Structure 1
Amino acid sequence: MQSGQIMVGAHEGIYVIKLVGDVRLNLCTSFDNFIDSMFKHDDFNDVVFDLHGAKGVDSTTLGLMAKIAIRALERGCEKPLVLTTDEGISHLLDAMGFDALIEVSDEHRDYAAEPQPLKCKTPDECAAREKVLEAHRVLMSMNEHNAETFRDLVHTLERECDPLDSPSTRMH
């Protein structure tokens, strides 16, 4: 499977996030930093996720997409638009409860600002774990099904992230 790439662009407050290939957690810290900077712009008013080139999207990336959708809705924006013709991705979005946060369309679009590759830095293990944890907490907050699905993973990550609970710091 083609390794993943996140491409981003913006024009007059409309942000395009294009996912290409198999998008996995190794891109998550750069993507999360982009999300924070995107919402700092006063002109932000809409976001489009173009998944036409995506072959796979992991749960961490889905959690960050949910984070974007929630923050956009909190700002009074319309539901973000997800463009995809992939039935598997559409089914995954539906099964995870994204219908409350996004609109899905199979249309193809041209953009005023062509998305460019997001500059990705390799995250350190701790930073990556924190982003994975945050993304899955967002997914859990969406509905009970997601809460049940990701509960064990989140508890495991929380234990790994807690330095007081690590074997090297326990008193014997």
Structure 2
Amino acid sequence: MSNGKIQFAEQEGTFVLKFIGEIRLTLCSVLDSTIEQIFSATNFSSIVIDLIDTRSIDSTTLGLLAKLSILSRQKVGLLPTLVTRNPDITRLLHSMGFDQVFNIVDQPQITPESLRDLPCQDVSEEEVRHRVLEAHRILMSLNDSNRQAFRDLVEALERS
């Protein structure tokens, strides 16, 4: 079980996701559902992902964040903002090519008081496999380094 959580708020069309602790596969279902919710909102104008309190983040979550960036560019033509002060997280984001699909900053732009915890969701093994596969395919599409790093995993998931 992950000891991380994701909080969520919306302020006048700006959506905020705050990742706290270790963000792992166990949170991918609720994160993906929340991404769908954000992009179905009629008042969507921007999104900020606060990683200041994030200790670690797995590749499935990174893939879902890349999906979020793609949808943001399609919907409003803007790159989402990632906020991080952890040098390890920042280095990971840059190594994955996130500096090309996000604005990466070290200061929060807004601090909504209305953040609430997203609930955990029970999902089937097949649904988790599908989300992991989708997330890693998105990561692979970002650059050649990611394509090489995740090729074996994606091929294994496709076979199962």
Shorter-chain TM-score category?
over 0.9
Alignment of 1:81-96 (within 5 A): 81-96=81-96
In 1, the alpha carbon distance for the partners of 2:109 and 2:46 equals 15
Partner of 2:137: 137
Partner residue in 1 for 2:108: 108
Report whether the alignment pairs 1:47 with 2:47.
yes
| Superposition misfits of 4+ residues, deviation over 2 angstroms | 108-114
Change (3 A) 1:108 1:41: closer
Partner Cα separation in structure 2 for residue 85 and residue 112 of structure 1: 19
Alignment root-mean-square deviation, CA: 1.3
Percent of aligned pairs sharing the same letter: 38
Structure 1 or 2, whichever has the larger Rg, is 1
Q: For residue 110 of structure 1, report the CA deviation from its aligned partner.
A: 4.3
Alignment-mate amino acid for residue 24 of structure 1: R
Instruction: Identify the residue that residue 163 of structure 1 maps to in structure 2.
Output: none
The equivalent of 1:158 in structure 2 is: 158
Instruction: List per-residue Cα deviations over 1:108-149 (Å, max 9, x = no partner).
Output: 354345221011112221111110000001001111111111
SS of match in other structure, 2:55: strand
Contact in 2 for aligned 1:26/1:123 (Cα 8 Å): no
Partner of 2:123: helix, strand, or coil?
A: coil
C-alpha contact (below 8 Å) 2:39/2:75 kept by paired residues? no
How many Å separate the matches in 2 of 1:146 and 1:125?
Answer: 25
| Alignment: residue pair count | 159
Within 2, Cα distance between the matches of 1:145 and 1:102? 18
Other structure's SS at 1:8 match: strand
Match of 1:61 in 2: 61
TM-score of the aligned structures, taking structure 2 as reference length: 0.94
Secondary structure at the residue paired with 1:15? strand
* Amino acid across the alignment from 2:154: V
Equivalents in 1 of 2:28, 2:35: separation in Å?
10
Q: What is the deviation of 1:79?
A: 1.4
Contact 1:45 1:77 in 2 (8 A): no
For the 8 Å contact 2:52–2:86, the answer to whether it is kept is: yes
Does the CA-based 8 Å contact 1:27-1:122 persist in structure 2? no
Q: TM-score, normalised by structure 1?
A: 0.88
Conserved in 2, the CA contact under 8 Å of 1:11 and 1:113? no
Q: Answer yes or no: is 1:122 the counterpart of 2:119.
A: no
In structure 1, runs of 5+ residues without a counterpart are: 161-172
Kindly provide the amino acid, as one letter, of the partner of residue 78 in structure 1: L
Specify the alignment match of 2:7 in structure 1: 7
Contact 1:19–1:50, Cα closer than 8 Å, also in 2:
yes
Q: Aligned letter for 1:32?
A: D
